[in-house]
Amino acid sequence: DVVITLLLLPIAAVIVGICAILIKLFSPGPVFYHQTRVGKDGQHFTFTKLRTMIPDAERDTGPVWATEDDPRITRIGNILRKTRLDEVPQLWQVLTGEMSLAGPRPERPEIVERLRKEIPLYEMRQIVRPGITGWAQVNHKYDASTEDVIEKLRYDLYYIRNLSLGLDLQIVLRTFGVMLGKKGAH
| pLDDT tens digits, 144-159 | 677 888 899 999 999 9
- What is the mean predicted confidence (pLDDT) over 13-23? 96
Contact 93, 45 (CB under 8 A): yes
In a domain, 136, yes or no: yes
Number of domains the chain contains: 1
What is the extent of the structural domain holding 50?
Answer: 2-179
* Predicted local confidence at residue 97, as pLDDT: 94
Q: What is the pLDDT of residues 109-141, one digit of tens each?
A: 998 999 999 998 999 999 999 999 999 989 887
Q: Maximum Cα–Cα distance for the chain, whole Å?
A: 44
Residues of the chain with pLDDT > 90, as a percent, come to 63
In a domain, 184, yes or no: no
- Residue-level pLDDT at 143: 66
Confirm if 178 and 185 have CB atoms less than 8 A apart.
yes
- Enumerate helices (H) and strands (E) in the chain, giving the number of each: 7, 4
| Residue 165 within a domain | yes
Q: What is the mean pLDDT of the chain?
A: 88
